[in-house]
Structure 1
Amino acid sequence: MSAPPISELTDRARDIFRLVVEGYLESGQPVGSKTLAGDTGLNLSPASIRAVLADLESTGLLSAPHTSAGRMPTETGLRLFVDGMMRVSEPTAEERAAIEGRLNGNGPIEQALEQTSAILSDLSGAAGMVMVPTRDQKLAQFSLVDLGQGRALAVLVSEDGNVENRVIELGGTLGPGLLEQASNYINAKLAGRTLNEAGASILKEITAGKSQLDEASKSLVERGLAVLSEDASQRPVLIVRGQANLLDDAAMQDIDRVRSLIEDLESKQSVAELLESAREAEATRIFIGSENRLFALSGSSVIASPYRDREGRVVGVLGVIGPTRLNYARVIPMIDLTARSLGKLIG
């Protein structure tokens, strides 16, 4: 059912709808007419409020759980509220200090990514998620070091000074100068290129028989590139922290939903694909309940934002996942601030 435009709701209906949603997001419980007739400034009788609640229910914006006389927003109602009625609150000074203090640039970027996920979890009360940035960096130097027993250490140095080491299983005895010849050949081809670019060019030249390498060196180069490329493709793409936050008292009343959510989170590649859809967004994206296929069964919401490097290029996505009663007004600006803070650390 599609929601009616906000303009079609009367002022009274808008006020009551907003109070129901805000009350539900704060408590996680349906909101009744007696509560609304209390200290909310409506100046309406419970009977008048019940009539408006019934109208809002008939439009698909509210629902009434069978165990309660109160009302709670449907996914359609939450979407209407988030898009047109929500009053966003900026992060508090304490939240800002917590985010900026823990993302201070000390330590490797992997540590910052772990910290980011933990920060989002701690401050939102949900599970924090960070997609590892694609680090398709341009390379400056490559070398192969003999480790003995048919193994070599491949050392990659990027233009920004990042160093990565990978052990290559070669088998057999390496001939004199073989590693040096292969290293020199790869170095000459990769300078200023990414690994993917250099690898494609080198393999094309080898396949076409245009390289000056002997057969042993060709084999070494091919195996080295294969190991490096395979390693990059198998790195974890997602860091998730704070799954325990999803197991609150309200969630435990619906253990099947929680079990479904935990299973979904364990499918990190699928979660990464969902977050990937937020990469090109100019602002934070919000997926409520069944709006996303992955978390449709668990009835969860995802709030995600891209983060950029210092040149403004999108390199990853971060966000939180939790019940649909997330405090959207508080969490959205917090995610925006975290994305900006993390982006300052990305080269």
Structure 2
Amino acid sequence: MATSPISELNDRARDVFRLVVESYLGTGLPVGSRTISRMNSLSLSPASIRNVMQDLEELGLLAAPHTSAGRMPTETGLRLFVDGMMQAAEPSVEERRAIEAGISEGGRIEEALSAATAALSGLSACAGIVMVPQREALLRQFGFVPLNDRQALAVLVGQDGSVENRVLDLPEGVSPIALSEAANYMSARFAGLTLRQAGEQLRGELERDQTALNGAARALVERGLAIWSADAQQRPVLIVRGQANLIDAAAAEDLERVRQLLEELEGKQEIARLLEGALGASAAKIFIGSENKLFSLSGSSVIAAPYRGGDGRVVGVVGVIGPTRLNYARVIPMVDFTAQTLSRLMR
């Protein structure tokens, strides 16, 4: 059923709808007409409120769980509330300080991003997430360590001191001399370049037949660059913190939903693809429940905002994942503030 925009609801319906949603987001429990009637802001009898709630249910904004006489907002109702009625609350001074302190304590960019995610998770009582900017590290040194006749450990050292290892399948008949020759060639020719630049330079030299390599060493160089380049493109650069926050007292009544959500959090590549939908947003973007396939089974919400690098371009996304009943009015500005703080860090 198509939902009417909030402007088409009369004042009484808007007031009742707002109170039901706010009460539900605060308690996680269905809300009854008697609860609404006790609120000072309305002068309506429980019977009148029941009639309004019934109308809102017919519009698809509220639903009545079979175990309760109370009502709760549907995902459609939550979307209508967030987009048209919610009054956002700016982060408090203490919350701002906690976010800024966590970020400032980080050394490397990845550490600062992890600290920001942990701070956001703790303040929001959700799982915090951040997409790390895709950075093309500069290369310093390569090495190949033989493991057996058919495999070697490919070692890459970056100019920032990072070291990464990958197991590489060897062409048949590769000798230790060829391993050493390939490693020396790569270290000499590609130091100071990114993987992408190294690949382009190698392809140019091969096309011009300018490499001083024999067939075995040449094949090693090509395979080495290929495995590193493919890994860099496919790796989900995502930090998740605070999954334990998703298991609270209210969640104990819905353990299957929590189990499903924790499983979904393991699929970081899928989450990264979801967050890419927020890269073009000017502020926080909200995904509620089944609005995204990834979290449709667990009925979870995602609030994510982009942050920018020194040149003003978007380089990543930071946000939270939690139940659909989370406090949107408080958490959305908190996510926005974290994104703004990270943008200042990147300058």
TM-score by length of 1: 0.87
Structure 1 runs not aligned, ≥5 long? none
Alignment of 1:41-190 (within 5 A): 41-104=41-104, 106-136=106-136, 139=138, 142-144=140-142, 154-157=156-159, 162-166=160-164, 172-174=175-177, 180-187=184-191
AA aligned to 1:197 is Q
Moved more, 229-238 or 76-85: 229-238
Give the SS at the match of 1:253. helix
- Equivalent residues, number: 336
The CA distance in 1 between the partners of 2:281 and 2:113, in whole Å, is 20
How far is 1:10 from its partner?
0.3
AA aligned to 1:229 is S
Give the SS at the match of 1:254. helix
1:30 lines up with 2:34 in the alignment: no
Structure 1 87/223 Cα, relative in aligned 2: closer, same or farther at 3 Å?
same
How far is 1:230 from its partner?
4.2
Alignment of 1:1-347 (within 5 A): 1-104=1-104, 106-136=106-136, 139=138, 142-144=140-142, 154-157=156-159, 162-166=160-164, 172-174=175-177, 180-187=184-191, 191=193, 194-206=194-206, 208-215=207-214, 218-233=218-233, 235-346=235-346
Structure 1 68/285 Cα, relative in aligned 2: closer, same or farther at 3 Å?
same
Deviations 1:113-163 (A, max 9, x none): 2212211211111111112221135x4x63447989987854333xxxx34
Structure 2 runs not aligned, ≥5 long? none
Structure 1 181/33 Cα, relative in aligned 2: closer, same or farther at 3 Å?
closer
The CA distance in 2 between the partners of 1:296 and 1:151, in whole Å, is 41
Moved more, 279-288 or 221-230: 221-230
Deviations 1:164-196 (A, max 9, x none): 334577874347987555433334xx65xx421
The CA distance in 1 between the partners of 2:3 and 2:35, in whole Å, is 25
Contact in 2 for aligned 1:288/1:300 (Cα 8 Å): yes
The CA distance in 2 between the partners of 1:280 and 1:69, in whole Å, is 42
Deviations 1:87-138 (A, max 9, x none): 000000110000001100541222222212211211111111112221135x
Identity across matched positions, percent: 56
AA aligned to 1:58 is E
Deviations 1:199-225 (A, max 9, x none): 13422431x243242226534532442
AA aligned to 1:300 is S
How far is 1:65 from its partner?
1.6
Contact in 2 for aligned 1:182/1:217 (Cα 8 Å): no
AA aligned to 1:129 is I
AA aligned to 1:184 is A
Deviations 1:291-337 (A, max 9, x none): 11111111111111112112222121121111110100100110011
AA aligned to 2:212 is L
Contact in 2 for aligned 1:182/1:220 (Cα 8 Å): no
Contact in 1 for aligned 2:106/2:115 (Cα 8 Å): no
The CA distance in 2 between the partners of 1:237 and 1:155, in whole Å, is 19
* RMSD value, Cα: 2.6
TM-score by length of 2: 0.87
